[in-house]
Structures are given as C-alpha cells and as structure tokens.
Amino acid sequence: ILGDSSLRSHHGNVIQAIMFIFKSLGLRGVQFLDKVMTRILEVAPTSDANLRESILQQLASLAAIMQHHLKRYIPRLFKLLSTYWHEHLEQILALVEELALHCQDDFMTFVPALLPLLLSSLSPASINDDRPGDHRLALLLRSTATLRPVLKDYLTLIIPALTALLDFIRDVPLDAPA
C-alpha cells in the first residue's frame, strides 16, 4: 500500500498499523525493518505536512524500539531530517535524540552536518520569529542536553550560541506580547 501512490489516503493508517506491529514484536521485528524503512523513507518526502509529521513521530518511536538496528538508515534519515528540520522541529528532535542514544557511534559522523541546523535553531532571530518560542526553546534546550554525549566535541560552538540566546532572553521584557 505504501508503494502505491493511488492509495495515498491510506498511508497514515498503514504506518500506524506497522508501528503497532513493531511495538508488539519489539526486536523480533528486525527481520522486517528493511522492507518497512525503504517504503517509509520513500513516502515521507512526498507526503503532505501532516502525514510527514506523523511519519517523523513514528520514526522516533521506531528508533526507540529498533535501537542500533536503525544505524544503516542514518544517512537517509539524516537527509530527511535536514530537509524538514524547521518545518517539523519537534518530531525531528525526538528522532535525533533516539538515533544519538541508540546509534551513537554511527550518528557521530553526522554531527558536523547537524550542528548548523541546531545552531540556527538556537539563534535569537529563530526563537523570536515564532512566538510560541517558549515551547520551541524548551525543546531545543532539552535536546541539546540530551545530545550532550554526541555534542561534547563541539561545545566551543554551542556555548556561545547558548550565551547569545540567554542574553537575548534576558533583554526581552517580561510583558512582551506573546
């Protein structure tokens, strides 16, 4: 069904069903991972924003279930997450956290490409642009803390960005319109 674009209206339900199966099987589902990941990674970029958001959320759940077995998909997952970083930040950060936790060694090679995305999201201009910025800021700070093991070699780049962000927050009046 995922391979048939004429059945696009069913893709969301199919992905939910697949996730239910993987949650039930746990690591016994590894043998099905290749077929499923291939299709999901083909469908995600061509899906509408709502379905893509759901897919990214499901991929984070799948990463938690399949753990290090997703390492061979990191390059394709990274391409997907870098393309939709700003559009689906919350779901992407959850996916990044799971990949970094379960596939740390393989994920490390992608940290240099991840860093500009993370730093751009931590910039005061980025936080100021969308004012439910508090929620977004909390997500970014939580993710930065969670990603600490993979970001440790880049602290000299991250700390100045965090400092600039804190300076910006300090200068924003408390009664600023939300």
Q: What mean pLDDT, rounded, does the chain reach?
A: 88
3-state secondary structure of 105: helix
Residue 112: is it exposed, middle or buried by C-beta count within 10 angstroms (0-12/13-18/19+)? exposed
Q: Which residue has the higher pLDDT, 43 or 136?
A: 43
Listed ranges 116-130, 139-153, 162-176; the one with the highest mean pLDDT: 139-153
Give the pLDDT confidence score for residue 166 in this predicted structure.
78
Task: For 14-72, write each residue's pLDDT tens digit.
Answer: 999 999 999 999 999 999 999 999 999 999 999 999 999 999 999 999 999 999 999 99
Confidence band (pLDDT; 50, 70, 90) for 177? low
Give the pLDDT confidence score for residue 39 in this predicted structure.
94
Tell me the two tokens of residue 125: 């201009």
Q: Evaluate if residue 78 carries a pLDDT over 90.
A: yes
Q: Evaluate if residue 138 carries a pLDDT over 90.
A: no
Please give the Cα distance from 122 to 120 (Å, whole number). Answer: 5
Q: Evaluate if residue 172 carries a pLDDT over 70.
A: no
Provide the whole-model pTM: 0.86
Q: Taking phi first (over 0 means left), then psi (-120 to 50 degrees means alpha), and beta for anything else, what does residue 104 get?
A: alpha
- CA 106 to each of CA 103, 142, 150: distance values in angstroms, whole numbers, following the listed order: 6, 22, 10
Q: Any idea where the domains of the chain sit in the sequence?
A: 5-171
The secondary structure of residue 97, as a DSSP letter, is H
Report angle CA 157, 145, 137 to the nearest 5 degrees: 85
